[in-house]
Amino acid sequence: MNEQAVVFVEKEELHRLIKNKVMKAGLPEDHADEVANHLSYADSRGVHSHGAVRVEYYSERIAKGGSNAKPNFSFRKTGPCTGVYEGDNAVGMVVARNGMVEAIKMAKENGIGFVGMRKLGHCGTLSYFLRMATDENLIAMSMCQSDPMVVPYGSAEPYFGTNPIGFAAPCAGRPPIVFDMATTVGAWGKILDARAKNKQIPPTWAVDSAGRPTTDPFAVGGLLAIAGPKGYGLMMMVDILCGSMLGVPFGKHVSSMYADLSAGRDLGQIHLVINPEFFGGMDTFASYLGRMVEEIHELRPAEGCGKVLVPGESSEAVAEGYARNGIPIVKEIHDYLVSDDVHYDRYDGKSAFASDSQD
């Protein structure tokens, strides 16, 4: 496959282009600004699977009513440390941000904040919300549902979604420790990114419709869980906490990202925020974590490897480079962003793998 040409764009310009596009699709300015904040953040840190590559899909869903542009939000505290945020099928970034705000408030007051968010759309990259907590010197975990696209261990057909898990902890004097991972070997967004760049994928990421390993991102019929049965167990855990526990659809009943763009997704998500001050104390926590990072950095690298890093450091390095040189955006995507078109009607009615077949 021949790789696509790219255009280098400043983060502020990328934000402006994304905000303009989703506002044209029908979002109010404050919601559009949050979507642009989120997607430009993802691209600026090299997470292109959750950046501008998603804008056309979001715009088509917004324009067709599947993302509620005039939601009726509500938050109900169910205990001193728990609550449920009703998203009314608004764009997921806005709902997940609002839910994190409530979780942070409770963690500051009572040591723990656990918020379940019901009926929201695709929320993007979890690290964006996790960093909201670390900015307040709090620890955070987040996880959410996604489309049934993954073949459980031993199965020949999909049942669960990529069901990502994220964790972040503040680290005094350093960027926070952050990891944000799908419970599949490769996230679906990375398949989309490979399609946009016309690149092959590793043979360990996915299988075709016959269950055979594939390197063609356009032939994917099922994604593979990380570490076989271990990843399968993790994605089931995420689905239980974000689906059944919150009273929204679970497993194979979770709505497809593409099947009907005029309907809400009804997804579930959770944030768990922890205040270290209520446990070992913030000073001790910061001291121990700082020492841990120093000791990891001092480890002898394996042959062929550089300095041993902690989760989140590689994206910090990418962000610094992009700040100097611009963010690389696939030219076809950039052409769409600067065009007057809202979307090209390319996603509605597709299968879970964005193909024409529903088999």
The neighbouring-strand residues paired with 118 are 86, 268
Enclosing domain of residue 325:
6-282+313-338
Q: What is the CATH number of the domain that holds 80?
A: 3.30.1370.60
Q: Is residue 334 part of a domain?
A: yes
Per the structure block, which two tokens stand in for 81? Answer: 């440390």
* Interacting residues of 126 by C-beta distance below 8 A, sequence separation 6+: 142, 143, 144, 164, 165, 166, 180
Predicted confidence pLDDT, tens digits, the chain (359 residues):
556 799 999 999 999 999 999 999 999 999 999 999 999 999 999 999 899 999 999 999 999 999 999 999 999 999 999 999 999 999 999 999 999 999 999 999 999 999 999 999 999 999 999 999 999 999 999 999 999 999 998 887 899 999 999 999 999 889 999 999 999 998 888 898 899 889 999 999 998 888 888 999 999 989 999 999 999 999 999 999 999 999 999 999 999 999 999 999 999 999 999 999 999 999 999 999 999 999 999 999 999 999 999 999 999 999 999 999 999 999 999 999 999 999 999 999 988 887 765 44
Tell me if 14 is assigned to some domain.
Answer: yes
Domain assignment of residue 93, yes or no: yes
- Look at residue 164 and tell me if it is in a domain: yes
The verdict on residue 272 lying in a domain is: yes
Residue 310 · residue 168 · CB < 8 Å: no
State the pLDDT at residue 320.
96
pLDDT of residue 358: 47
Catalytic residue among 15, 122, 271, 343: 122
pLDDT value of residue 1: 54
Find the radius of gyration of the CA atoms of the chain.
20
Q: Is residue 297 part of a domain?
A: no
Give the count of domains, the chain. Answer: 1
Q: Is residue 303 part of a domain?
A: no
Angle at 27 between CA 144 and CA 6, to 5 degrees: 75
**355 in a structural domain:** no
**What tokens were used for 337?**
């962003």
Q: Is 334 a catalytic residue?
A: no
User: Count of CB atoms within 10 A of residue 203's CB?
Assistant: 12
Predicted TM-score of the model (pTM): 0.93
With both helix axes pointing from N to C terminus, report the angle between 29-44 and 313-325 in degrees, rounded to the nearest 10. 100
